[in-house]
Structure 1
Amino acid sequence: MTSTILSHPALSRTMQDGDMLQADEVVAMLRLHELGWGAKRLSKEFGCARNTVRRYLREGGVAPFKQPVRRTAFDGLDDWLRERFFRHDGNADVIRQELASEHGITIGLRSVELRVRQWRRELKAQKRATVRFETAPGHQMQIDFGDTKVWIGGERARVHLFVATLGYSRRMHARASLRERQADWFEGMEGAFLRFGGVPAEVLIDNAKALVEHHDAVTREVRFNARLHTFARYWGFTPRACAPYRARTKGKDERGVGYVKKNAIAGRRFESWAEFEAHLDRWTREVADQREHGTTGVKPAERFADEAKALRPLAGRAPFGQLRDLVRKVQADCAIDLDTNSYSVPWHLIGESVQVVVLAGRVIIRHAGQVIADHPQCRGRRQRIVDRAHFVGVTGFDGPVRKEAIEAAPAALLRPLAEYEAVVGGGW
């Protein structure tokens, strides 16, 4: 009987290596104990301590390890910790501060991080989870800005791209500008309305400071800029802000900005700003509107046929009329600087402060209540816009400088030299 049991491979392995007993070895130990083997003999046979044998015999088999329950400072606070973890977007340091202020528990940051670690994967999944939604024709337009570097006129310039995308048809409008001010947002939207031939019911915007003054991430309370409200009433749409730190809320337009960067601009060079704008317009018509959209499976231009009917007609409405009222000092080159460009001013105002009004594509310069210059607004960079009439009278402007001969009048009050000699007492 003994030789039969010892031939078991598990037993021989245990006796050779001295490892912890396996489940089948414990079963063999119990069978031998039933045959009369004592704890001392079993310990020698299986290569383990007598107390180990006695524990297996007492438990009647393999006993799972029982980890002792340790008390922690977080006991009874699991629900509170979970609620604060998601409220503060996983910020363990804020939770540590509130543990001290609300529960009087002073504890290290690492201990808090380890305690809330179990919920981090859930928080990450919650952030990434997205429910795709489709809007009815004419209901929504999404807008956004993105920036990139573009070669224009041999210079690598930073360009801001305004992209508007209709939610139903995915038809888009792209406009380039040198800045991302409120005026550029408004001009971009008006350009989109003009391209689409109508106005959607609502416009989904990013939380740009030029448009949104406050947006609470928890209560979702939004306070739009007063001028945006006026602009929206003028065109008849409802502004709506996407969730803070949740750009995918306007995913159609986020992908649209990337599409313009990678498809319309990447790897291309342009001789001038006008050529760049013409390229964007042509690319939008011939490429973006004619491609088969990856989500809808239909060309945006074809799908737009259904959406165009749902847009609110423009009815010949004039532009909103963006106005910029600035003060500039006339430089020594007889010009004022505006958005990296120079606009000429009558030369006699060098050093004076003048009022500069930018309105409807014109740059109007006033001094002492009078219009002293009126230029077309330049869309390029580092250009010089000159009105030659402003330099009339400036030396050298019309050609080389010529000096007229000056004839000296005869000296009528000069005295003879002999009189001076007499005064000093003789000749030299």
Structure 2
Amino acid sequence: MFQYRKVLAMKAEGFSIRSISSATGHSRQKITTVLEVAKEKEVDLKTLEDVSDKWLEEFLYPEKSEEESSYRAIDFEYIHKELAKKNVTLSLLHYEYEAQCRSEKAIPYSYRSFVRHYKNYAARHKATMRIKRRPGEILEVDWAGSTGAIFDCDTGEVVDVYVFVATLPSSQLSYVEGFLSMNMTSWIKAHTHAYDYFGGVTEILVPDNLKTGVQEHSRKQLILNPTYKDMANHYNTIIMPARVKAPKDKASVEGSVRTISTWIIASLRHSQCFSLDEWNSLAKQKLEMFNDRAFTKREGSRRSAFLAEEKDFLSPLPPMPYQMSEWLTAKVQPDYHISVKSQFYSVPYEYISQQVDVKATDHLIEVFYNHMRIASHTRLYGKYGRQSTNPDHMPDEHRLYIDQTPKNAKAWGKDIGPNTLMVVDYFFKHAQIEKQAVQSVFTLKKVLRKYATYELERACEDVLRATKRPTVSLIKTILKNNQKRTVESQSEQSTDQVNKDYGFTRGANYYGGQSHDE
């Protein structure tokens, strides 16, 4: 507002227009106009000691006050709530406000005045200003430049504590946690703990260009670390790293880092912590105090702003927290297995010699080919060289062999027929070792590639009729002979049928001869 009292007072003390302009920041033309109007209306500050600039403005320019009151009032509470919705802007709300004014034949504020009045309202009555950051939209994360410290009880060495900071720009609520390194495990764990602390997930995640999160960030392409990208997919959020050398892209966390470095890290400088858990416990107490501190220029605190205006806009957490995973590459070996940390896992044999991607968690191994999952196994630990093999991944002949157990062999024999089952029982009863009997049954199974099941059952019946000591070779011989006899029989029947259909059947009388009956 124009400083009417100061301008009139300085003029009364004999200051020049130029000096008054320098002191107040108002233009000389405006100051001259105000002094002329005050002279016309005989304003004397000596008789008006307690009046305010607002009163003087209404006294000197009553038409301005009447004009201002003729404008249609703005529903600021409605504007503030609508701005929290996705894709809603002040320009859209001003357009709707103007349309409503036209329908009611009222005078609307201009867009500039509309925005100015909203800013004044939000600064006075609300903890957040929607035109800066939308609630629940962005989470900014970074490592603090300053480090904490813990003391090694054995060596007395001072160990650095690297501090992770996450901030919600809308409410300015922050999360802090210390780690002994800035590796991928710490980075992912910090994110999952931050989401748990906030009780929800934002639409966008804005990190710095650390190698743990971003492998390459240029104008042409953005390549994220696979593990970091997988975590974002698990929480259904989008990673949008800040531009290189552009700290304004995550100004909130940059500001929070500076403040937290003072109120948390520096405040713990006299505390002697001998473990990371102890340091984090003290840091958590300082964090709660930091989030509950009242704002200096507006009402409320970070926590009250979060609870009142941002918490409900966060997306819900997934049912299970993200499990740390490691992405590897492997080549499928001729035995259709891949090696992961010296343990072996099967994949479908069709992918032999192909390069595959492997996602390894503490409990699960998942194999992907062209972004499609082709196999999954429970992770193996312990002695090197252990195998996890899914029978469905095997070729048919391998699966046939792997299924050979006494129980399966007898079940197979029973399905073929009683004579085949008797032969299988004989193999297991008279074999010197069980493996020898299994191999015999396996060889017997392979004959079904050439012969039908009923032919095998009949051959077993013939063998048992001929001898009390059946062998696979005898069964094969009988199968071959039976097949040969069948072919010969079919050939004879075919010849007889041809003779019957196409032979000479007219008799001797037809050719002028006499039959034997005569």
TM-score by length of 1: 0.43
Flag the structure with larger Rg: 2
Bigger fraction of residues in strand: 1
**TM-score, length basis structure 2:** 0.36
